[in-house]
Amino acid sequence: MTAVTVPLVVLVVAACVALAGWATWFVVADRAVVLRQLGAAAGVVALLLVQAVVAGLLLARGDGSVSGGLFWGYVVTQALVLPLAGLWAFAERTRWSSVVLAVAALTVAFLEYRLVQIWGGR
């Protein structure tokens, strides 16, 4: 990881954990996902897209020795998890929509951790 990407990684993980905590609070309260939570998920996806552009520029410049297929597979998967969970949560108007959003946010945080490992060559 370069000094440019570390703050972005921390921001993405913090946003994912915050979203997961918010959704978990709704699970405990037996409430369905609200539109503001889906907006927050969209904000995380926007951060992921910024991160993908930065990573692409760094890789094009020659930084990082990563397996392209593996790295971009994680990037694409990461960018799709929250939108798909958001669609599912919007369609499922019960407490389980909050469970879906919480699990998806934690999944993206874990995928972010794996991206850091992949970038570092581990």
For residue range 10-65, list pLDDT tens digits in order.
999 999 999 999 999 999 999 999 999 999 999 999 999 999 999 888 888 877 67
The domain spans of the chain are 6-30+40-120
Please report the DSSP string for 26-84 in residue order.
Answer: HHHTT----HHHHHHHHHHHHHHHHHHHHHHHHHHHT-----HHHHHHHHHHHHHHHHH
Q: State pTM to two decimals.
A: 0.90
